Each structure stands twice: as C-alpha cells, then as structure tokens.
Chain A
Amino acid sequence: MKTLFFLFIFISLVVAVFSYGFTDPNLVLLKHPFFVSIQEMLHQLVYAHTGTAALITGSILITFFVLYIGVLRLQEKATKEERKKFIKLFIIIGIILLLSYPMFSYDVFNYILTAKLTYFWKENPYVVMPIEISNDPNLMFTRAANKLALYGPTWISATFLPSLVGFGNVWLSIIAFKVLVGAWYGIFLWMIYRFTKTLWNVVFFALNPLILSEVFINGHNDILMMVLSLGGLLLWQNMQPKYRYLGFMSFVASIFVKGASIVLIPLFFLRWPMDKILSAGFWLMFGVLLLTPIREEMYPWYAVWVLTFAALIPKNKAKFIHSFSIVLSFGLLMRHLPYIVTREYGGVGPLWRLLLTAVPVVVYLFFRFLKSISRKDM
C-alpha cells in the first residue's frame, strides 16, 4: 500500500510539473528565471512535439488509472493505521494537483474573467460580454470571452471570494478558484463517508483520475452543482420538515450553478429505498451526459455528474454502476488527447474523441455480456 501511495504522489508531482508546458503562449505566470527556463523547455515539448506530449499525457493518465484500481482493490486489505493515512493522501495529492496549470481546459480562465467582469468592472455578466471591455488583459488568454455568463448566479456568487483573493495575479486567481472547487470536493468526501460509512466509496470518488483532473487540475465547477443537488436530495429524503426545506433550497441553488441538475426533480417525489433513488439519479445524469453532444460536446468533466451518484451507492448494491463509471471516466478522460496532438478542436479530433470514449466502453460492455452468458451456461 505504501508503494502505491508513493507512486500516486509521485505521478501527481509529474503532472503538476508537466502541466506548465501547456501554459497559454500569451500568459506570463511567473518571471523568475528558473521557472521561465523550465516552462520554456516544457513549452517546447508540448507545442513543438505534440505527438510526444500526447504520448506522455496518455501514459500519465493510464498510470493514474492503474494506480487508482490498485488502491481501490487493496484498500479493503489495509490495516486500521493505513486506512487513516488515506485522508493524508487525499490532502497531499489535492495540494500537489492544485498547484498544477489547468492543462486540459481554458474554463477556469473564463470563470476568472466572468468574476472580474462582475466584481471588478461591476457589470452584469448576463448582459455584458467580457470581450466588450477590449482593454482587459485577461482577454489575451481567455476563450469564450464573446459569450454572456455561461453559469448561474450561485456560481457567480461563489466566485466572489476567490476573485477577491486573486485580483491582479492570474496564477493566484487560478489557485484561488481551484481551492474553491477543491473545498467542495472535500465536503463531498465527507458526505460520502457520512452516508455510506465505507472507505471504499470515498476512495472510489476521491482518487478517480477524472475527478482529480477535473477538480484539481482544470478546476471545473461541476462538483459544486453536484454537491448542492445531492446534498439537497439527501436532506429532502430525510423527511424532517426543517431538513426538507434546507434540502429544497440546496437543490434550487444547484440548478443555478449549471442547470443540468434540473433533471433530478423527479427523484424528489420518489419513495424508493435510497440506493434505488441514487441509481435512478445516476442514469438520469447519464442520460443528460449522452445528450450533451446535441448542445456542444460530451466534455470529460460532465462525468462528475454521474460519478458523484455512483460514489454514494453502496459497493454491493450496484457493481455494474461502479465498474461502468470507472470505464466511462477512463474513456472520457482520454478525450483530451486528440487536442494535444492536433492543437485544434476540428479536423479528425471529433472522430478520435468519439473512438477514445466509445471503444473502452463498448469493449467493457462486450466482456460483461460474455461473462453473463458464461454464468448462465454454468
């Protein structure tokens, strides 16, 4: 177990360093000569040798998954002392990855600029687009600046504190925004343990490479939406009037983060056992995930929607959901690779993204099908 822990931390460190090769060419994070020389070297690797960069990234992600499955399998055999060390592991990995550059997505820059538009420029982000203030230096490295605020008021309000902490310094802002989502990750780990009382469920979520990537590396806000909606659902199902009210408020707040959680409304009217409600929630969110290409694309961070549900279902109650979630998160995380190779979203990218996601899932389903047939024959 110790070796696995060490390897997990080591790979996280590699990711944290390697991620700075993905820094936007227009963005200067630190001017210290040591940092600049390392960054330039990594920059050269990522931007000039795109195939090698993708190979390294792919290898890192696969290693992460191998270690994840290893830890997940071995954690049940762990001693009491070793189990206590898991919390330390979560914190150490969280801190290391928090310091990484958002290598797979530009969304955190959009969050930062939207917060700046609201709290610094004092404009309504639902009426004014960031690009309308053409002298804002953040426009140099922010994408989707020609859109009105993409997220709801709950998210905009939540970004007040990190925008205050990080003003004037892009690197500090990135860290502050990631601390915000990291805090919600921490709250969710507590929720999982409180609800399931098993370490397995906590590890299943906490060390999933897609979760680590989308929370600590890319700093996506989906975790906030899911914690509020699932917290709301659990409180609502608690049946006590005061908790139900709180649960309802929490759920409404979740809808005003991103809106996807609105499909969970039917779960509030079900009187099923909780694990069945959670399974239904998993499939509802999976349905939304499948529909996302109609709007834009099936982004890897949307898997947070389904993984949060899977993490709350007891291990022996939904084995398929758990194993399917792991394969799905692997397939979705691989979607980052084509862009690293081609540096464009179009071209052959969409086909590769589809293959990288679909092939692992289809192969998994095929083997599962074969297994079920062989069981019937016996």
Chain B
Amino acid sequence: MKNNIFVVIIFIYLSFIIGHLSLVHADYVLPYPSYMPGNKLYKVSRIIDQVKKFWYWGSIAGVKYHLGLSDKYLVEAKTLFEYKQYLLATDALRRSDTEYIEIPQFIVRAKVEGKDITLLEKTVKEAAQTHIQILDGFKQTVPAEFTWTPEKTTPTILPIGNLIETSINIRGQK
C-alpha cells in the first residue's frame, strides 16, 4: 500500500514537472497579418517598414528588424495564397526571403563586436523552422505553377513551386 502511494506521488510529481516543462516551451510565434494590398494603409505600412530601419540601429537590432519583416511578409504571403492572390503572394514571399537573407550578416557583425547572442541565434533558428513549416504547408494547397493573365497584356507563368523551394532552401541554410 505504502509503495503504491509512493508511486502515485512520484507519478503526480513527475506529471507536474513534465507538464510544467511542456508549458514553458513556447514555439516561435508569427505575427497576425498586417494591412493587406488594396488597403489604404498598406502603402503607409510599407513606408513605415522602411523608415523603421533607421530606428533599428545596431547588429542585434538589425537581426530583429529583418526577422520581424521576414515574418510579416511571410504571413502576408500566407494570407494572400489562401485568397488565391498568387501574384501578390509571390511578391510578398520574395520580400520575406530578401529580409531573411539579410539576417546572417548582422549575426556575424554582432559576433565580431564581441556580443554573445546565443539566445538570439536560437530564436532565429526557431523562426526558420516555423517558416519552413508554413512553406511546406503551401506545397499542399498552392499549385506549383500558375498562369496569371492580366487584362490587355500577355500572360505570365508564376513558378510558385520553385519559389517555395527556394524560400525553404534559404531558411534551411546554416
């Protein structure tokens, strides 16, 4: 009987510990979608994105700035893909890639400056994993190619599948 009580106590204790650990661990969280193309404030938000660059001086701030924009544009792309706005979505995805590509140089700069940014690097890795999960999701729902036919001009083929692969590769690089 005593042994049983002992086992139950240990079980309850461990379940609290393990439960607590799992509660503490938080996945990288992407932001809510911001203004979308077509909204009057969309252009303003894009200008603010550029102006904010001057506010984010410093190497660590640089990482945060570019990661933040990469997140934002990825969420924009995701929303646009869901609404089948493929041309706009691919543009947002390209912008997300462009911002993500900027991150490593700021990490290198921070290290050269003698800053131990282990935690930030971990965050960037987690962000990359979350991005890749989202991009993998696109593969299931978005066509690999889409012919965009604008009024009065010749149609354009959007290589969406290739673009998604490129985005995954960018984020998969170490």
Contact = CB atoms under 8 A, between A and B. Distances in A.
B114 A135 contact: yes
Contacts of A123: 57-61
Given A127-B64, A128-B64, A121 B118 contact: no
B56 A133 contact: no
B118 A134 contact: yes
B151 interface: no
Interface residues of A, number: 11
Contacts of B56: 124, 127
Given A121-B113, A135-B114, A127 B119 contact: no
Contact of B116 (A124, A127, A133): A133
A133 B65 CA distance: 17
Contact of A132 (B65, B114, B119): B119
A122 interface: yes
A132 B120 contact: yes
B55 A121 contact: no
Nearest to A134: B116
Interface in A121-174: 121-124, 126-128, 132-135
B71 to A, nearest CB: 15
A135 B58 contact: no
Contacts, number: 43
Contacts of B118: 134
A121 B58 contact: yes
Contacts of A121: 58, 113, 115
Contacts of B117: 132-134
Nearest to B116: A135
Most buried by A among B58, B114, B118, B120: B58
Given A132-B60, A132-B120, A133-B60, A127 B55 contact: yes
Contacts of B64: 127-128
A134 B65 CA distance: 20
Interface in B33-70: 55-61, 64-65
Contacts of B114: 135
A128 B116 contact: no
A124 B65 CA distance: 12
Contact of B57 (A124, A132, A134, A135): A124
Nearest to B115: A133
Contact of B119 (A122, A124, A134): A134
A132 B56 CA distance: 15
Interface in A112-128: 121-124, 126-128
B57 A122 contact: yes
A163 to B, nearest CB: 16
B58 A128 contact: yes
Interface string A299-317: 0000000000000000000
A99 B107 CA distance: 40
A133 B59 CA distance: 11
Given A124-B56, A127-B55, A127-B56, A135 B115 contact: yes
Contacts of A134: 116-119
A38 to B, nearest CB: 35
Contacts of A128: 58, 60-61, 64
Contacts of A133: 60, 115-117
Given A132-B119, A132-B120, A134-B118, A124 B113 contact: no
A128 B120 CA distance: 11
A128 B113 CA distance: 15
A127 B58 contact: yes
A126 B57 CA distance: 10
B66 to A, nearest CB: 12
Nearest to A126: B55
Contacts of A122: 57-58, 113
B115 A124 contact: no
A233 B65 CA distance: 39
Interface centre among A126, A133, A135 (most CB of B within 10 A): A133
Contacts of A135: 114-116
A313 to B, nearest CB: 42
A121 B115 CA distance: 8
A164 to B, nearest CB: 18
A123 B114 CA distance: 13
A123 B106 CA distance: 12
A149 to B, nearest CB: 12
A234 B59 CA distance: 43
B105 to A, nearest CB: 16
A127 B115 contact: no
A272 B59 CA distance: 52
Interface string B58-94: 1111001100000000000000000000000000000
Contacts of A126: 55
Most chain A beta-carbon neighbours within 10 Å: one of B61, B113, B117: B61
6 contacts: A122-B57, A122-B113, A132-B60, A132-B120, A133-B117, A134-B116
Interface of B: 55-61, 64-65, 113-120
Question: Top 10 nearest A-B pairs by Cβ distance?
Answer: A123-B58, A135-B116, A127-B61, A134-B116, A133-B115, A128-B60, A124-B61, A128-B61, A122-B58, A124-B57
